[in-house]
A and B are shown apart, each in its own frame.
Chain A
């Protein structure tokens, strides 16, 4: 290989420290508040945006299910929606799923995509039918997010929906559906549904599939067929 070796620059100390945060943008006591105090911040219309943002993140760490209504009220806020999902995503209670699912019919654009992404992360199977319908909607970015969420949710129902969508979508949306189908196949393998997974891989191996997904599906088949743990 042709290579001219050059000495690396000496490690540089960190750059000069940035300006200090103004008092109104300092987390302070919020980091130590309990759920009730945090909910009061979220439900007080006079609370500054910064305080609400930090309260959401802290609630996520506490996993406080009683905060679900206050968090879900922020899902439509362009600045705070991510923070609201920061709070909702780790809450184990099904009320968080209900709140996110309710957002599917209320939100549009990126805010809707955020909710879809959180639903996918939580693997809320109840959202499956609504997500499947969204794959064919007019907003292509929403369609791709819906496909990705279905793949993460996994299961036989998602497999059927994604397999059908492979034949009905095109371009970037089809690429997203194919990626979701790959994820779904892995979920099926993990659940012991090997034949279903291999059938999905076979669909993805068709010559007209997006090349990266097609090669990944072939790789999946080979990996599975050569696995020492495969049924013999």
Chain B
């Protein structure tokens, strides 16, 4: 039998700590010290994230992979213009990009259906990952994502940038300091039903003539999603609100705001144990949730700006001695006793810059970033559970340890989705 000493000896001997892990040298960043990125599926949102990444001298972006020719060309043009060269390489096969040994990390901003499978494939290739939200299409994908990044010890930063937003941080600190008293209820603003109803459609659009494969590879665009006939509306950004491509309005915004609630309340390692849907699919709705420690979480549709007009992706913390609420408008609303404790914060729009900086720092130090795969998995599972409760139209109980609903077999069968061959997680 192999002894523990023998195993450790064989394991540790070849370990060499790369210089990049030990920190950045002062002054200009040598090419050898740059973190080299590739990108997969960069559209409008991905280009926004990429624009921030390109602002950091510690990062270098060298390759783009996309199933759409025009997207490849657009990203290459953006990157080449920034660097003043023509070096950005284009790929239509993610495996070719991921096989490049010079690439340390990838930015994934595809449609939601691709997020988990691609992130896991990237980890298997030894890459660190920044992935847009929602990070998963099901509970099963959430678990697989967290497992893969723990297994490969890779850095994963979910596109939950508000965790690095100053106004959101101040609210968290006010709770942590005790100024709000004992935590009672968290509020997460979820997708407005007018744009993203909680339950997406299972219908198909009519079939249109497929474009040439070199213009759009429909098979790869569908990726892990079940087959359906091509329609250009999906590809033009209209894939949301279709069940096979989208997790519904709760996940769409909850992947930001439920995630904020978990982070602010120190609940990153668990999920609520009760989910009670209130409302219909066509008007404002809520899901009333409760954690095992008695704290309430209300996922609520308060429109784009929230009832207090604190901006999109607002969240609210209520303690027994005070409350705070903030969102993308940066302004923090609060109970009267908290107002003296408020101070101006930097614009919420800087959250993404801070978030990318957090990623780069963690790639160097191998520390856990704020929106790790494990944290994202738990907040996403809460959203998936709420989505399932909404579809079932009844209150559900959930056991985070057993990973199962306690009172609904159908709900348990909705924890995973079959992926189209050959994809898997």
Contact = CB atoms under 8 A, between A and B. Distances in A.
Contacts of A6: 51-52, 55, 349
Interface in B1-15: 1-2, 4, 6-8, 10-12, 14-15
Contacts of A141: 422
Interface stretch (A36-44, A125-133, A157-165, A217-225): A217-225
Contacts of A214: 14
B238 to A, nearest CB: 4
Interface string B191-210: 00001100001111110000
Contacts of B234: 18
A205 B10 contact: yes
Interface residues of B, number: 74
A148 B423 CA distance: 11
Interface in B167-215: 195-196, 201-206
B353 A5 contact: yes
Contact of A202 (B6, B126, B140, B240): B6
B83 interface: no
Given A18-B233, A81-B421, A216-B151, A1 B56 contact: yes
A63 interface: yes
B106 to A, nearest CB: 13
Interface string B219-237: 0000000111001011011
Interface residues of A, number: 78
Interface string B46-76: 0010011001111000000000000000000
| Most chain A CB within a 10 A radius of its CB, from B126, B202, B311 | B202
A111 interface: yes
Interface string B345-375: 0011111110001001000000000000000
Nearest to A219: B153
A4 interface: yes
A65 B419 CA distance: 21
Interface in B286-320: 304, 311-313
Contact of B226 (A14, A86, A182): A86
Contacts of A114: 420-422
Nearest to B415: A90
A218 B421 contact: no
B4 A225 contact: yes
Nearest to B414: A61
18 contacts: A1-B58, A1-B360, A2-B56, A8-B48, A11-B311, A14-B240, A18-B231, A18-B234, A18-B238, A21-B206, A86-B417, A89-B418, A90-B412, A90-B416, A172-B95, A212-B123, A219-B151, A219-B153
Which 3 interchain pairs have the tightest Cβ spacing? Answer: A114-B421, A212-B126, A14-B195
Given A63-B409, A198-B4, A219-B152, 11 more contacts: A4-B55, A8-B349, A13-B195, A21-B206, A61-B414, A81-B421, A117-B421, A117-B422, A120-B424, A218-B15, A225-B8
